[in-house]
Every structure is written in structure tokens, then in C-alpha cells.
Chain A
Amino acid sequence: MCLAVPARIIEKDGDRAVADAMGNKWNIRITLTPDIEVGDVVLIHAGYAITKVDEEEAQKTWELFEEIAHFEEERLKAEQQGGDDA
């Protein structure tokens, strides 16, 4: 439940912001991280930025998500093919 996803702040208005994670845009709150600026990368949990992280750390997570998505696609494809054969 305490999962958090890294995303980049692309707009900011008071304690609200828009964040981009791998092309997905989210409306989030930055109430807990008031020093955040546009361009910063943050960890988001339940709609709230909880901390700033460095670019390198975020990149590793994004790559991991891409890898998981890729595996998932391959798995579904394999399952479908298996289904067709049967």
C-alpha cells in the first residue's frame, strides 16, 4: 500500500501540481513538499508528493516499470497464442 511512483513536476499552482510519469499525467498535491519546483522529480503516494528524488533514481524505476510492462505484454501474447492453439 505504501508504494510510490516517481514523476516529474510539469506545472505548479499553489499546493497543487501536474506530474508526468512516463507520459501519464496526474493532478497531484505538493502540500507535503512545499519546496518543489517545476522540473523536479518526486515520489508520489496516494496523490501526494512525499519527497524529491534524484533523476538517476527515478530513471531506474521507470526502466523497471517498462521492463515489467514489456514482460506482461509478452506473457499476454503467449497466453493468447496458447489459447488459439487449444
Chain B
Amino acid sequence: MLERIEQARKTIHASCEKVGRPIQVMEVCGTHTVSIFRHGIRTLLPENLKMLSGPGCPVCVTDQGYIDVVMDLARRDDTIIATYGDMIRVPGKGGSLESLHRNNIKVVLSTDDGLTLAKKHPDKIVVFVAVGFETTTPPSAVAVMDGARDGVDNFCILSGHKLVVPAMQALLGSKNDKIDAFLCPGHVSVILGSDAYKPVVEEFKRPCVVAGFEGIQILEGLAKICEQIAAGTAEIDSVYGAAVTPQGNKVAWKIITDMFEPCDGAWRGLGVIPSATMKLKDQYKQFDALHRFGIKEVPTEEPAGCRCGEVLCGLIDPPQCSMFGKKCTPDTPVGPCMVSTEGACSAWYKYGR
């Protein structure tokens, strides 16, 4: 193992020296962000190689307007809100789900649990808080599929599901063209397949390398990226062959596309990105919380003074935000990047200072 670490480190240093100029590599996965800090990987990198934490944590990219809609639904007497634990502390305009102290808010471990709640409480409408990237979208799709099959008419989802690749394109296209390459998410790529990054490689000529979550995999992924930058190439590569194939999980992808279609939607910090949010297809609209409750529009808003948006685009490091570590800490988070344990601000606060 030590030999592999040393080999990767040497390749990274030699390549970066050859390039000479500053290099910026963005990881697009919250689990990578935490792993990079936890393993002290930044301390092994040459000075001209900088890691940026991109829009890879689903909680962090969820727009405040979405949270406000969840909060409005939670205040009703005819609903039960079923949510993954990650979302419970994210503040909207009027506080977080946790701060409401209502017993109609239930933390669940799977979409199945949400559907079970609906069957148990026929007098309530269960709203599943459906956030997450391609890894987390299939379970929401299956829940709606099961709900439709079993005739569960008091279950719906508020879809904030996101697609990673169009966000990477939007980032390069309009927000930050200084990103030299991407370290691509492992488990999103299990579903998507590594070939999905073709547009980034072909259109923007940026290397995309998929890695798993162990320190050594991240280092070896970075070594492959740096070699490509030094050679002036931009290709798709993967060091997570144990779980990721070029084609991905086709069964999961078919279930997603049977139930959902892409639409324009707001991402925190990135604004509205075309075709990067997933909504239920028309034939399943009775399972769509927006349709069910007659919500015409999800407002887009960001909390005043919060610079999470710039953090997510790789434009600033968390300590450059004046609230970081002062008004905004893991105990009193203002922005989602501090709330989520996978957020860049939370990781910087814990390990980076």
C-alpha cells in the first residue's frame, strides 16, 4: 500500500512540476470532499495543485426556495414529511425542519419507509423529500412505481433530484472556466457509467477521472488527472473499476427515465441550470407534490451574506466567507455547506483550519 501511495504522489508531483502553472482540480462529490480532508490528502499535494470542492453534496446544492416549500408543507395538518436525515437541519427562510418541532416530520432510511408511512396513515398525505443525485434518484422512482401499482393515493414526492453532468457543463460554461479537471463521483458513476462524462471531455477538453472513496483511490485518481494535464490530453478514466463500468447500471437508469424527465431547476449558487433537475413525468403527476398541492413556482432565494454559492463554484475557499467560523459554524449553520457533514464548509471547519 505504501508503495502505491508513494508512486501516486511521485506521479502527481512530477506532472505538476512539468505543467508549472497553477492547476485546479474539482471533486464533485461530498463523500470525496470529506475523504480528502480526513486522509490529509491536501498535505501530500504540490503547491501548484489546488483541490476545489464542487457542487457534489445534494444537501448543499438544494436551493433555499425548495426548503421553504418543504417547510410550508410541514406546517400543514394534513401532511407527514418523510425525509433523509441529511435534510433535517438545513435552514430555509423560516428555520429548519428540526426547528419546527412538529411530530409530522419523520426521518426515514429509505423511500420504502416513506411509502409504508403512507399506507399506515391513510388520513394524511405523505410527502417524501426527494433530494440527491443519480445514486439516490432510483429509489424515489421505485417508490412512485410501487405507489402507482398498489394504488397508494396519499403518497407523493417533492423532487429536487439533480443531474451531475449538466451541472459540470454549466459550471465550466458560465461560472468558473479555471477548473482544469474533475475527480468524478464513485457511486453516481455506478449508476451513470463513466461514459456519461463524454460531453465534459469532448466539449470542454477537461479530463474526467472516476475514483472510489479510499485515500489511495483518490490519490491514484489525482495521479491520472495530473498525467493527463501534463500530456495535454482530456480523456475519461477510472480507478474504481470494481464498481463502475463505462455503461453504468442500465436497469437503474431505465427506471429513472421511465418515471422522471429533466427540467430546468435552481441549484444553490449556480442559479437555474437547464435540464439538470428531474421531475416526475406527466402520467405520474398525482405523485408530484407540486401538482398535488397546487404549487405553481418554487421561489429561488439565497440567505443574505452567505457565500455558499461561490464555494460550490470553486470561486472561494470557505474561510474567505466573513461568516465562516464566526456566525456560521456546524452548531449554528447559516448555509447548507456548513449544515451537511459532506459540505465543504463543514469539512474545512473540522479538518482544514
Partner-B contacts on A (CB < 8 A): 1-4, 29, 31-34, 43, 45-48, 50-51, 53-54, 56-57, 60-61, 64
Contacts and interface: CB of A to CB of B under 8 A. Distances in A.
| Pairs of residues from A and B, 9 with the lowest C-beta to C-beta distance, nearest first | A47-B110, A57-B242, A32-B252, A2-B135, A2-B187, A51-B190, A1-B58, A46-B139, A4-B187
Contact of A2 (B112, B188, B252): B188
Interface string B54-88: 00011100000000000000000000000010100
Nearest to A28: B110
A46 B110 contact: yes
Most buried by A among B110, B131, B213: B110
Given A1-B30, A1-B57, A51-B243, A46 B252 contact: no
Most buried by B among A46, A48, A64: A46
B136 A1 contact: yes
Interface of B: 29-31, 57-59, 84, 86, 109-113, 131-133, 135-136, 138-139, 142, 185-188, 190-191, 213-214, 242-243, 249, 251-252, 255, 340, 342
Given A3-B213, A45-B139, A51-B249, 12 more contacts: A1-B131, A2-B29, A3-B31, A4-B187, A32-B251, A46-B136, A47-B110, A48-B142, A50-B190, A51-B243, A53-B242, A57-B243
Nearest to A27: B112
A62 to B, nearest CB: 12
Nearest to A31: B142
A43 B133 CA distance: 16
Given A1-B86, A29-B142, A50 B255 contact: no
Contacts of A34: 251
27 contacts: A1-B30, A1-B57, A1-B86, A1-B340, A2-B29, A2-B30, A2-B133, A2-B186, A3-B31, A29-B139, A31-B138, A32-B142, A32-B249, A32-B255, A33-B249, A33-B251, A43-B243, A45-B136, A46-B132, A46-B136, A47-B113, A48-B110, A48-B139, A50-B135, A50-B249, A51-B243, A54-B242
A2 B255 contact: no
A50 B84 contact: no
Contacts of B59: 1
A45 to B, nearest CB: 5
Given A31-B142, A46-B110, A1 B132 contact: yes
A61 B186 CA distance: 14
Nearest to A60: B214
